[in-house]
Structure 1
Amino acid sequence: MSRSAWKRAAVALAAAAVVAGVAGCQDGDGGTKKAAGASATAQPGTQSPEEAAKAVRAAYAKASAAKSAKVEMRLNVGGEKAPGGSTFTGVQAWGPVAADLKVFDSSYLAEIPGAPVETRMVTAAGATYVDLGEGLTAQTGGKRWLKVDAEGAAAGDELMIQLTGGLTVAAMDLPKELGLLAGSSAVKHLGPVKGGDVEAEAYEGELPGGKLMEVWIGADGHPVKTIVHAESGGTTTSLTTKYSDFGAKAAVQAPPAGDTVAFTDLLKRLGRG
């Protein structure tokens, strides 16, 4: 694999980490084309916009009180730049923000020779760390963990911005995203939906930056699924997250600083080649 191809795969992996792990909510510069979640199969909605906003606000209150949940996330990126996807499972918290996730079924890991088939991703203290495994330490100066900061990563490479597609860290602060959705002037009720053994009511609205968010709210008022879409620079990004076991706990600790390499520093190392 050439150094430029390694760099491309590393950027794509870092972008996946940004979308799936770094905390916060920032505006994008792209627009969404469509939602491809429940709306295609849901029965017509019957709630007024006011009733829809009230239901989303109630889900916001439930999520805020719980502070954490188990998650199963699927990230899909389309377009010519670096299409691919990754799956993440584990525990995510938003009070304060933290996550401990297993990463697998990742086309980005598969593109990097020596990378593990599955790995671990930890979010703590405002940054996300991806375990690159022992096979890549020659390219990282002996460091095992790739440190990705949302602002630093976006500033480090144009491809990173295009891959995150204005979706950067969407739905990572679930209450914040639900609050923005409830305040959308166009939030609407899509109707009842069912996926597996989950029955819910689906709602949809536009978030700042043109992102389109769909949320499924269960009978107990908790959000059980979110689907967020965005497009920027010819790249489309979709993040689907399933939630369960609200209040689940995880002991999250950042890796030792001496065993981490910053994403921007890794780009410099690769660029020197």
Structure 2
Amino acid sequence: MVALAVVAGVAGCQDEDGGAKTAGASATARPATQSPEEAAKAVRAAYAKASAAKGAKVEMRLNVGGEKAPGGSTFTGVQAWGPTAADLKVFDSSYLADIPGAPVETRVVTADGATYVDLGTALAAQTGGKRWLKVETGGAAGGDELMLQLTGGLTVASMDLPKELGLLAGSSAVRHLGPGTRGDFEGAQGYGGELPGGKRVEVWIGADGYPMQMVVHTETPGGGAMTSLTTKYSDYGAKAAFQAPPAGDTVAFVDLLKSLGRG
């Protein structure tokens, strides 16, 4: 169930070299050609465009390294921001593969301040027929290491594109990484910077001014894990239902842990 919680965390959110090489440039491979002021201006313009679009189609890859809950999952679907919402398919997930009875792929929905994971038929049989695991983004219990770990994962992976762009644009460390030179990133410009909380952000902005890809690397509190989230964006303005499942068909994460403890 911890694995399911980690899977759920991304809905609300590759390694560093992989993201940089895909785009065709990196901070070390190519000297910056724009000043920090010009870089901040470009990121602010992308922030305005993304904010106005309110959502987009996404393809996300979450990788978690370290001793606590290492693994990875891929997500595709639609994500919205302001308010945060998502409707995503989850697959290629080491977390799902490690759970007996879990489906090979499943659905994650974020709506009304919570994230819901479709448990599938086999796991729902262990929850009294309730098919959806509900994870509150602010549901950590004080001093509970497991829940603190869960909340840290949600904070890292519940990605809000305009928020990340705004933080990057306002950072004194924002820098131009250079132009993209290969594939879909040809003609794009890369920008990156260090943000508070052990976070590093890299974004590639297309010729139309919209972000094409963002990579966020975050070290969880206490240095227990390094989370890397690569998100590719397309079809800005895409819509989805973003409807939370009926309350009677959901089981809360904390309640499920208590039930498992008794059993």
Q: TM-score, normalised by structure 1?
A: 0.85
Partner amino acid, structure 2, of 1:254: A
Match for residue 229 of structure 1? 217
Map 1:146-157 to 2 at 5 A.
Answer: 146-153=133-140, 157=144
Q: Is 1:143 matched up with 2:134?
A: no
Which deviates more from structure 2 when the two are superposed, residues 169-178 or residues 212-221? Answer: 169-178
- CA distance in 2: counterparts of 1:138 and 1:198, whole angstroms: 46
- CA distance in 2: counterparts of 1:254 and 1:166, whole angstroms: 21
Question: C-alpha deviations, 1:70-114, integer Å up to 9, x for none?
Answer: 000000011122211000000011133211100000111111111
Partner amino acid, structure 2, of 1:125: D
Match for residue 256 of structure 1? 246
Q: Relative to structure 1, is the Cα distance of residues 248 and 102 closer, same or farther in structure 2, using a 3 angstrom cutoff?
A: same
Q: Report deviation, 1:161.
A: 3.9
Match for residue 23 of structure 2? none
Partner amino acid, structure 2, of 1:128: T
The count of aligned residue pairs is: 253
- CA distance in 1: counterparts of 2:142 and 2:205, whole angstroms: 36
Q: Is 1:59 matched up with 2:46?
A: yes
- CA distance in 2: counterparts of 1:240 and 1:48, whole angstroms: 25
Partner amino acid, structure 1, of 2:242: V
Contact 1:85-1:106 at 8 Å conserved across structures: yes
Match for residue 235 of structure 2? 245
Contact 1:98-1:122 at 8 Å conserved across structures: yes
Q: Find the partner of 2:191 among 176, 184, 203.
A: 203
Which deviates more from structure 2 when the two are superposed, residues 86-95 or residues 196-205? Answer: 196-205
Query: Which consecutive residues of structure 2, in runs of 5 or more, have no partner in the other structure?
Result: 21-25
SS at match of 2:255: helix
Match for residue 99 of structure 2? 112
Match for residue 12 of structure 1? 3
Q: Report deviation, 1:160.
A: 5.0
Map 1:20-39 to 2 at 5 A.
Answer: 20-22=10-12, 35-36=16-17, 37-38=19-20, 39=26
Query: Which consecutive residues of structure 1, in runs of 5 or more, have no partner in the other structure?
Result: 1-9, 24-33
Q: Find the partner of 2:206 among 212, 218, 241.
A: 218
Q: Is 1:93 matched up with 2:83?
A: no
Q: Relative to structure 1, is the Cα distance of residues 171 and 134 closer, same or farther in structure 2, using a 3 angstrom cutoff?
A: closer
Q: Relative to structure 1, is the Cα distance of residues 204 and 77 closer, same or farther in structure 2, using a 3 angstrom cutoff?
A: same
Partner amino acid, structure 2, of 1:117: V
Q: Report deviation, 1:155.
A: 5.5
Q: Relative to structure 1, is the Cα distance of residues 40 and 181 closer, same or farther in structure 2, using a 3 angstrom cutoff?
A: closer
Q: Report deviation, 1:159.
A: 3.8
Q: TM-score, normalised by structure 2?
A: 0.89
The Cα RMSD (Å) is 2.2
- CA distance in 1: counterparts of 2:63 and 2:102, whole angstroms: 20
